[in-house]
Chain A
C-alpha cells in the first residue's frame, strides 16, 4: 500500500501531502525534510527508487515538481511509477497542461482529484476518463450550489430594497 504521497518542488517547497498511514504532525515535518534531502539531491539519470526507513520511496520528476509515493518493500515499484504518471495525466487533462502554479492556487482541486484516484493507499480507478467525469460532476454540484446561494442573496437583496 502507499503510505503517503508528497509533491515537492525543486526548491523543497511542499505542494501536496497525503497521508494514508498514521504519522503525527511532527513526524510528517520530519519525513518531508528527510525525503526532500534524499530525493532532491539525486542526479537525473539514477533510478527512481530510494530506500528509506525500511520502506521504498518511488519518485518521479515532472518539470519542477517531484511526485513521491512511499510504499512497502514488497510492492511493485514499477507500477507505482505508472500510478504517478496516471495522476499527472489526470491533472493535465483537468487543468489543461498543468503547471506548478495551477497546483499552488488550486491545491484543493489537486487533492480532490487524488481522492478520486487513491483511497486507503490503494488505486481506485484505472480510467482517466472516469476520474475526470467524477471530479467534473462534483465541481458542477458546487457551482450549482453557489449559483443558488447568490440568487437567493439577490432575491433577499431585492426584497430588502
Chain B
C-alpha cells in the first residue's frame, strides 16, 4: 500500500489543522496534505479516493486551491457504489462551478444516474444537476428531469421540480415542456412536492407568458382552494411552526397568486376573499406569522384591487412600522416604499415614524428609511423635513453622511422654490458635511448664486461667516473662496443687506486674510488652491490698496511643486506687475452663468450653443473680456472628458479677440489641419515661456484642463498679455501654418505642403454601409519615415453618431501618434464629417509598408456600435 495515501484520516487532518497556532503552520500542514493527496491521485488509488476528496473539500473551505481534485470527483461519480457517488457529487458541487469545462464531462454520468434503479442515487444526481447545471447540460438532460416529475416517490418528484426551475432559468425556451407536469404537481398532497411545484409554476410564469396564461386560467381556482385548506387546517405537528401549518407553503402560494393576479382583474377578484382572510386571521406575534403577513401585503399591493384590501394592507404595515422588532420595521419600510406608488397619502401618515427610522442606530434601517423618506418629500413638507435631516446630519455616523448628504442636496435642489432658501440650506450642508458633497452639486450652487444677483452680498457674507467657523469642509472653502473673489467688494461694504441678516464688519484685510487661509491650509487640495489664487487676483483689483500684499501671497507659490499652481502664480504675478492697465477689465465680475447650459451639461449632453455666441465680438482689441460669453460656461466644467468643446470654444473666442483669421489655411488636403487643431495651436502659443512639458498632440488646453479646466479660460485670458507681444514679433497672425509647426516640434520654418501631399493618392481605408473612412497622406520633407495621415469620417446612415471614437493600432515597427478628433459627434447622411490627424513613423521605411488595425466605436439610437478592420492597402513606400 502506498505510504502516502495511507496517511491520516479526515478527522486527523482536521484536528492537525485546528491545532495550528499560526497561519504559516496551517499552510505547512495543508501543503503536506495536498502533496499526499496529489501523490495518491497520481497512483490512481481507489480505496482512498473518497477520503482524499473529503479532505480536499475541507481544504477548499479554508480557501486553498484544490483544482487538481476536480477529476477525482468525476471518477467517484462514475463508480458504482452509493457512498462514492455521494461524496463525488458533493465534491462536484463544492469544487466546481458551472463555468468550468470539466463539468461537461459529467453529463453522461448524470444521465445514467438519473435513470438509476436506486432512488437515492437519482436524488443525488438531481440535486447536483439542480445546483450547478449549465445551459448545455440543461438542454441535454431536460427530458430525464421531465420524466422524473412523474416518478413514484414524492421525494424524487420534489427534487425534479426544483431541478426544472434551474433548467428553465438556464434555457427559458424549454419552459413549455414543463407547463403540464408543473400544473399536475399543484394537485399533490405531499407538502414537499406541493411547495416545489408551486415554486416551479411561479418561475415558469416569469420566463413564459404562455405558462402565465395557462396557470391563470386553469389553476387560480385550485390554488385559492389549496391556500384556504392550509389556512384552515387543524394542527399538524409535522408542519407546524409556531402555531401555523407550513408557513413556507402559505408564502409560496401567496407569491404565485400575486403573479397570477397581477394585471388580471378577474383572477385578482377570485383571490380577494382568501387574501382578506389571511390578512386578518394570521397571528402576528411570531416571525412565521409576520412572514406570511408580509407576503400577503405584497400580494395585495400587486394585484388589481378595488382598494378595500389595500387599506387593510397599509394598516398592517403601519402596525409593522411601530413594532419593536427591527426586522419587522425593516420589512415595513421596504414595503412602504413599494406602496408609495399606490397610495402616497396613506404612507405620508407615517412620515414622522419614518423620520425617526432615519435616525435609527441600525444602518440597514436608516438606509431603507432614508430612501423611503426621499420619495415622500413634496412641496408641502420639504421645509420641515429638510430642517430635520440637516439637524440630523450633524450627529449622524460618518459612513451614513455620504448617503444623507446626497439625498439632502438632491431634495433641496428639486424643491427649491426660493433661491434664498436653497442657498441657506446648501450652506448648512456645506458647513456640516461639505466633504461629502459631490462636485456637480457645489458647481450647481455656484451657478445659482451667480444668478441670484440680489443675494450676492448676503451669500458672500454668510459664506464668510461659515468659513470663519469651520475650514474643515473642502467644498465650503471652495465656494466661499469663489464668492469672496467675485463679490469681495460686497462683503466689505455690506452691499445688499437683508433684514434678516446680522450686521457684520469685514475689512478688506479680513477678506484677503480669509483667502490666504484657504491657500495656506495644508488640507487644501489643488483645486481649492487654484481657486484661491484666482480669488486673490480678483481681489487685487477690488481692493487696490492690498494689491502689494496679494502679490506677495501669489509670489509665494512661484516655486510650488505643483505645476498648475506654479504656472498660475507666475502668470498672475505678471499681470499684477506688468499690466495694471487692463487688470481690472480682466478680472471683472463673472457674467451670470447660464443655468440652462449648466444643467444641460450635467445631464450629459454637450451644449451646442457655446460656440454660437462667438460671432459678435469679432473685432475687439486685445484683452477686453467682457463680451466674450462663450468660454464662461466652461468655468464650472470640471469634467475633463468633454475637452473638445471648451477648447474649441476658447479657441473661437481667442480667434475673435485677436482678429486672427485662421480658417483659410493655405494648405491643401495634405497638411490641412482641422480648425480644432489650429485653435489648439493658439492655445499652445499662449503657454510659451512657461515650463510646460508640451508633448506633441496633447494640446495645451488639454494640459490646463486635465486637472481643473474650470479656470482654464482664465489662463487664456492672462495668457493674452504675453501673446500680444508674442504675436507681434513671431509671425504674422494671418499665417497659421508656421505656428503649427512651431508647436508640433517639427522644426521651424514655413514649408509649403503643396510640394508633398499629392504624391500619394487618398485611400478609402474603410467603408461599410454606415460609415466611410478616408485617409489622405502627406510627407514632411526631410523625414521620409514619417507619414501624416488625415482621416476623414463620413456617416452614410441616416442617424447621428454620438461618442464617436476612432482608435488605431500598429505593429511594432511602426510608431503611431493620434491627435484629438475634431468632434465626437458625426452628423447623419454625410452632412459633415469628423477629421482626425495621425502621424505614423515607419522604422522599416522602404522595406515594409504600413499596416494598421482600426476600431471605431460610436453610439447611434442609443446603441453602441463597434466596427473593426485591418487596413493593409496603404500605398507602397509610405
Contact = CB atoms under 8 A, between A and B. Distances in A.
A108 B163 contact: no
15 contacts: A14-B63, A15-B61, A46-B362, A46-B363, A76-B294, A78-B290, A79-B291, A115-B90, A120-B163, A124-B158, A124-B159, A124-B192, A124-B195, A125-B192, A134-B155
Given A124-B162, A142-B82, A46 B326 contact: yes
Contacts of B329: 47
Interface string A1-27: 000000000000011111110111100
Chain B contact residues, majority secondary structure:
helix
B241 interface: yes
A62 interface: no
Contacts of A142: 82-83, 86
**Size class of the contact patch on chain B:** 35 or more
Interface in B292-344: 294-295, 326-331, 334
A53 B361 CA distance: 21
B327 A48 contact: yes
Contacts of B331: 77-78
Given A20-B131, A82-B247, A137-B120, A47 B362 contact: yes
B127 A119 contact: yes
Q: Which of A15, A20, A79 has the most CB of B within 10 A?
A: A79
Interface string B735-766: 00000000000000000000000000000000
Contacts of B98: 22
Given A29-B63, A126-B246, A127-B192, A51 B364 contact: yes
B99 interface: yes
A130 interface: yes
B83 A78 contact: no
Contacts of A82: 241, 247-248, 287-288, 291
Contact of A49 (B18, B57, B248, B327): B327
Contacts of B90: 108, 111-112, 115
A79 B248 contact: yes
A119 B11 CA distance: 28
B251 A76 contact: yes
Contacts of B196: 122-124
Given A129-B238, A141-B82, A142-B82, A47 B199 contact: no
B327 A119 contact: no
A146 interface: yes
Contacts of B123: 134
Contact of B86 (A18, A78, A86, A138): A138
Interface in A40-65: 43, 45-51
B57 A108 contact: yes
B295 A107 contact: no
A105 to B, nearest CB: 6
Contacts of B94: 17, 111
B294 A78 contact: yes
Contacts of A14: 61-63
Contacts of A47: 326-327, 329-330, 362, 364-365
Interface string B50-75: 00001001100111010000000000
B294 to A, nearest CB: 6
A128 B239 CA distance: 8
Listed from nearest, the 4 A-B pairs whose CB atoms lie closest are: A78-B291, A47-B326, A119-B162, A119-B130
A124 B680 CA distance: 68
Interface in B107-156: 120, 123, 126-127, 130-131, 155
B18 A104 contact: yes
Given A79-B251, A126-B249, 8 more contacts: A20-B131, A46-B361, A47-B364, A82-B248, A119-B127, A119-B163, A128-B238, A129-B238
A95 to B, nearest CB: 15
Contacts of B803: none
A150 B501 CA distance: 95
Nearest to A148: B81
Contacts of A22: 97-99
B248 A145 contact: no
Contacts of B248: 79, 82-83, 123, 126
B288 A138 contact: no
B568 interface: no
Contacts of A145: 81-83
Contact of A122 (B63, B199, B363): B199
Contact of B58 (A83, A107, A119): A107
Interface in B408-432: none
Interface string A95-135: 00000000011011001100100011011111111100010
Nearest to A143: B83
B447 interface: no
B363 to A, nearest CB: 8
A81 interface: yes
A39 B57 CA distance: 25
Contacts of B241: 82, 86
Contacts of B130: 119-120
A119 B65 CA distance: 25
Q: Which of B82, B93, B248, B328 has the most CB of A within 10 A?
A: B248
Nearest to B247: A82
A19 B100 CA distance: 14
Nearest to A131: B192
Contact of B192 (A29, A108, A112, A130): A130
Nearest to B134: A22
A146 B51 CA distance: 13
B367 interface: yes
A122 B361 contact: no
Nearest to B199: A122
Contact of B54 (A108, A128, A137): A108
A15 B329 CA distance: 31
A45 B326 contact: yes
A72 B159 CA distance: 22
A34 B14 CA distance: 26
B179 interface: no
A105 B255 CA distance: 39
Contacts of A134: 123, 155
A49 B97 contact: no
A79 B127 contact: no
B303 to A, nearest CB: 15
A24 B99 contact: yes
A11 to B, nearest CB: 12
B246 to A, nearest CB: 5
A79 B255 CA distance: 12
Contact of B191 (A24, A78, A111, A127): A127
Contacts of B239: 126-127
Contact of B83 (A107, A119, A141): A141
Contacts of A46: 326, 361-365
B155 A108 contact: no
Interface in B245-303: 246-249, 251, 255, 287-288, 290-291, 294-295
Contacts of B295: 76, 79
B165 interface: yes
B190 to A, nearest CB: 9
